[in-house]
């Protein structure tokens, strides 16, 4: 068996060499903690690029070999095994809560009040973005909370219309948030200049401005093209995930790389939430547990290893969305919800 595994490793190394050779011969590419970086800071020649890429591939293969003695063990930490601490350790070395609040469409005082209510309810993960136009409000709520800064994890995102000057985008986010540093910055979705923008975020990690970096709306093909061009493995990928759009092929792929998966629109998104919460299967499971449909869906995500960031401006709903750890869905219940997948995406990216 070991000879077969060794042969497979050799084949994988040959594939890596071939892929890296192609990368090194291409002069133009598509557009954390530093301990997770496995490449040199810059590959200025084709040969350097090839060597660095081989090292990355070899390291990834070695990591796979280490897990062979633990059959069925994921290559990233399973967040469901962290329900007591309610955090997961990222590949950047930092701890991140496994549930939080999304702030899409929340602006001004509504955003400040919503984030404040979330923090008062024990939420310590806040998701914002340049395109949400509320980074100032999120920062205000964090600063005024009285909670030590290091206990709050703030994610923001750089939008493609900022990729032409990513350094300025990073500084703008730091200024608007005004919370000393950014826990995690994501590229909001693929676009021209995305690789260069990610490399700028890597530099911000080295400079202590950002602690972890990641991606939003990247799927298998996009990741396969993108990852060989960067130095720091993303700590997180954030995609649309809910019972009607489950990404059952994408989630395991991302997790196999040691990357945490986070789901936006966990309750289906605007215009679709009522249908999802009223789904007969989910409603039946909710009644059986004495829980709400929203709590069932969020718990389903968590048991699949997906971090959740439901959005709300209602303090009661915000509190409700934190009460996810006093019950467990059975395998049969998980399978019933899994069977609801329609491949139905509720936003364009």
pLDDT tens for 90-138 read 999 999 999 999 999 999 999 999 999 999 999 999 999 999 999 999 9
- pTM higher than 0.85, yes or no? no
Report which listed range, 41-55, 66-80, 236-250, is most confident: 236-250
Q: How far apart are the first and last CA of the chain?
A: 43
CA-to-CA dists, residue 261 to 6, 76, 209, 316, angstroms: 30, 10, 23, 26
The arithmetic mean of pLDDT across residues 256-285, rounded, is 94
Assigned token pair, 19 = 């892929």
pLDDT on residue 340: 97
Q: Count CB atoms within 10 A of the CB of residue 215.
A: 27
CA-to-CA dists, residue 219 to 226, 291, 322, 348, angstroms: 10, 32, 28, 14
pLDDT on residue 68: 32
For the stretch 248-259, pLDDT in tens is 999 999 999 999
Nearest to 257 by CA among 108, 61, 35: 61
Mean of pLDDT over the chain: 83
The arithmetic mean of pLDDT across residues 261-281, rounded, is 92
pLDDT on residue 13: 42
Under DSSP, the state recorded for 182 is E
Assigned token pair, 148 = 């030590």
pLDDT on residue 271: 82
Judged on CB neighbours under 10 Å (0-12, 13-18, 19+), 212 is buried
Percent of the chain at pLDDT > 90 equals: 72
The band of 269, judged by pLDDT with boundaries at 50, 70 and 90, is confident
pLDDT over threshold 50, residue 15: no
The band of 78, judged by pLDDT with boundaries at 50, 70 and 90, is low
- 6, 8, 14, 20 alpha-carbon torsion, rounded to 10°: -110
Residues 195, 124, 308, 257, CA torsion sign:
positive
262 sits in which H/E element? strand 260-264
The arithmetic mean of pLDDT across residues 194-214, rounded, is 98
Name the pairing type of β-strands 95-97 and 101-102: unpaired
Annotated active-site positions, please? 132
pLDDT on residue 345: 75
């Amino acid at each position: 068996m070991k000879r077969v595994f060794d042969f497979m490793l050799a084949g994988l190394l040959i594939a890596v060499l071939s892929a890296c050779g192609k990368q090194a011969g291409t002069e133009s590419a598509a557009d954390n903690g530093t301990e997770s970086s496995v490449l040199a800071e810059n590959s200025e020649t084709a040969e350097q690029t090839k060597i660095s890429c081989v090292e990355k591939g070899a390291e990834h293969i070695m990591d796979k070999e280490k897990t062979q003695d633990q059959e069925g063990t994921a290559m990233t930490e399973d967040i469901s095994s962290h329900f007591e601490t309610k955090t997961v350790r990222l590949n950047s070395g930092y701890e991140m809560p496994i549930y939080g609040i999304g702030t899409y469409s929340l602006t001004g005082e509504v955003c400040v009040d919503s984030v404040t209510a979330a923090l008062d309810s024990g939420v310590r993960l806040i998701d914002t973005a340049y395109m949400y136009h509320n980074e100032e409000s999120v920062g205000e709520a964090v600063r005024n909370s009285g909670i030590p800064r290091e206990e709050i994890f703030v994610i923001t995102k750089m939008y493609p219309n900022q990729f032409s000057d990513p350094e300025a985008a990073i500084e703008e986010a730091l200024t608007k948030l005004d919370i000393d540093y950014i826990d995690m910055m994501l590229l909001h979705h693929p676009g021209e200049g995305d690789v260069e923008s990610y490399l700028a975020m890597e530099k911000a990690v080295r400079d202590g401005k950002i602690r972890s970096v990641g991606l939003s709306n990247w799927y298998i093909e996009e990741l396969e093209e993108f990852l060989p061009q960067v130095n720091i493995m993303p700590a997180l990928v954030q995609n649309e995930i809910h019972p009607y759009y489950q990404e059952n092929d994408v989630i395991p792929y991302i997790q196999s790389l040691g990357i945490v998966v986070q789901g936006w629109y966990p309750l289906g998104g605007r215009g679709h939430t009522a249908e999802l919460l009223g789904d007969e299967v989910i409603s039946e499971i909710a009644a059986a547990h004495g829980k709400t449909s929203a709590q069932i869906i969020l718990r389903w995500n968590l048991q699949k290893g997906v971090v959740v960031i439901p959005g709300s401006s209602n303090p009661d709903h915000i509190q409700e969305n934190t009460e996810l750890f006093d019950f467990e869905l059975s395998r049969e219940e998980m399978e019933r919800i899994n069977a609801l997948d329609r491949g139905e995406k509720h936003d364009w990216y």
